Amino acid sequence: MLTTHPFDDDHLREECGVFGVSGSDGSAAALVALGLHALQHRGQEAAGITSWDGRQFHTHRAMGHVAGNFDRDDVIRALPGQAACGHVRYSTTGDTTLRNVQPLYAELASGGFAVAHNGNLSNAQRLRRELVRRGAIFQSTSDTEVIIHLVATSSYRTLLDRFIDALKQVEGAYSLVVMTPEGMIACRDPLGIRPLVMGRLDDAVIIASETVALDVVGAEFERSIEPGELVIIRGGEVKSIRPFAPQAARPCIFEWVYFSRPDSISGDHSVYDVRKAIGAQLAIESPVEADLVIPVPDSGVPAAIGYAQQSGIPFELGIIRSHYVGRTFIQPGDKVRHLGVKLKHNANRALIKGKRVILIDDSIVRGTTSLKIVQMMHEAGAAEVHMRIASPPTRHSCFYGVDTPERAKLLAAKLDVGGMTDFIHANSLAFVSIDGLYKALGESGRPDFRPGHCDACFTGDYPTTLTDQDESAEVDQFALLAERVA
């Protein structure tokens, strides 16, 4: 049968990626398909593209990767127009079914309305219940559809005002690309939790989750969409408005640690350079005598380079990754399940035998992957196995578009570092401190410093209210009390 590969099952899941083109001379959909290829790491369950040809909208959505679904001429020809938007998805809310694949599309009184969303609305369930009571009929289980219904039922006159009215009712994280007959809208939530950038390709305006997608289509990076900013695009013309009260930005810090591609640029910093700086900071904070620094591929590579350069310990590829095994693999039976691990990662035995090794990874979630990799090193003959993690312990769930396991399943929420070390059978384990993480970003780590990012997965300091989560907790507490009374 098919199952999630053991190494993929123990990572924080990528959220989603969005890409939009307005004012293209040729087929906007072809550019969107290329952009989505570059953003495939942000969502690998499904992909979709919606185009506008000046008269009507055209949509193609499919399960699976961009390749195989949008690299066919007949698919792109069926998506004509000078404007298009697309989405790659990993489900953080809603089922993994075609009805939840974005862009979501609806016919409103003002005409067609397509939306691609990266993020998660933390009050979507409450809003959904209210909308259903008022007669709304939902076609998906995605939180994104709430936005469409709020726009449709708004009492404001213009589509832009109705859209702003809808956004003022939601909480949480959103970077959106919206297509209407009047033009394209790109926006970020007031805290800027999820990334969004804008570029130019000749006369066309390009919107993307990351700068790497601009690179792939040959567009020039212009700027980031600011937190709380709405950019209205008609053809190649751009107008910016800021309808929300200004707030201190809190972009997701885990974009630096893992989510963004290392060849992307965020603000004035290279993601690759920041990850190397995190590794260097980790070496300063948690040195250990060893013979080799080994990355857990591929996400641990830049931090491992930084650790090796700072410590003077040689960097080596002690784990070889197969790039031909996807998120799912064929599992013949439980007796050979452990062999499936080696389909994706295998120890470089000749290098490791008799050596004291330092493994560098981006995070520990459930701990099962770390356990398997440490075991792999021991079986390959390593004299000592030390693990260093390029992020602080992940002790809290994310409610802003990252599919984090419930808190009870997070290893760092259950055990201290000593207990985690024993669990993964390492000789030692250390994480970069939250202070060190901010230092690597070039920001202060002083106790009186208000963090410039959302670091809730490490600290529990959530920057917004969590309506759905709070209500769910209240229901659980009530059920527990009722059970005790009974």
**Beta bridge mates, 87:** 18, 48
DSSP 166: H
Look at residues 310, 314, 317, 315 and name the one whose alpha carbon lies nearest to residue 436: 310
Angle at 149 between CA 144 and CA 152, to 5 degrees: 135
Q: Of 16, 252, 398, 454, which is the active-site residue?
A: 16
Mean per-residue pLDDT over the chain, rounded: 90
What is the pLDDT, as a whole number, of residue 479? 45
* 337-344 vs 368-379: helix crossing angle, rounded to 10: 80
What is the pLDDT, as a whole number, of residue 92? 55
- With b for 16 or more beta-carbon neighbours within 10 A and e for fewer, the 141-178 pattern comes to ebbbbbbbbbbbebeeeebbebbbbbbeebbbbbbbbb
Whole-angstrom distance, CA of residue 340 vs CA of residue 328? 10
Q: Are 248 and 238 in contact (CB under 8 A)?
A: no
Q: In 170-240, which ranges are continuous DSSP H helix?
A: 211-217
What is the pLDDT, as a whole number, of residue 341? 59
Phi and psi torsions of 333, nearest 5°: 170, 165
* Regions of the chain with pLDDT less than 70: 1-14, 91-96, 325-342, 444-451, 473-486
- With b for 16 or more beta-carbon neighbours within 10 A and e for fewer, the 343-354 pattern comes to ebbebeeebbee
Compute CA 229 distance to the chain's CA centroid, rounded to the nearest angstrom: 21
To the question of pTM greater than 0.85 for the whole model, the response is: yes
- With b for 16 or more beta-carbon neighbours within 10 A and e for fewer, the 282-316 pattern comes to bbeebebebbbbbbbbebbbbbbbbbbebbebebb
What is the pLDDT, as a whole number, of residue 329? 41
What is the pLDDT, as a whole number, of residue 472? 76
16 is catalytic: yes
What is the pLDDT, as a whole number, of residue 345? 86
Look at residues 112, 63, 126, 114 and name the one whose alpha carbon lies nearest to residue 84: 114
For residue 360, how many other CB atoms are within 10 A of its CB? 28
Residue 298, preceding peptide bond in cis (omega within 30° of 0): yes
Tell me: the pLDDT tens digits for 161-213? 999 999 999 999 999 999 999 999 999 999 999 999 999 999 999 999 999 99
What is the pLDDT, as a whole number, of residue 287? 98
Q: What is the CA radius of gyration of the chain?
A: 23
